[in-house]
Amino acid sequence: MPKKISELLSIVKAGGGISIDAESYRQSELINLVQNSYEKTTIIMRNSSPKRTSELEEIARKSFGKVIFEF
């Protein structure tokens, strides 16, 4: 069972890096996560293939280099 987005936010706000299944979360949740994470946090989003390219582009634009997409 995936962690709740609120739990992930607590981790990334504290400076922790995470690896998550992108398919388990809505685009708005992923954007919230990257926008509210510590500035040097790395977030790896596994299973990104099912997301539309436009969704991934928006997440990338708002992440300022914090996100690595795995396909």
pLDDT digits (tens, 9 = 90+) for 3-60: 999 999 999 999 999 999 999 999 999 999 999 998 899 999 999 999 999 999 999 9
Q: How far apart are the first and last CA of the chain?
A: 21
**Beta pairing, strands 67-69 & 43-46:** parallel
pLDDT digits (tens, 9 = 90+) for 5-21: 999 999 999 999 999 99
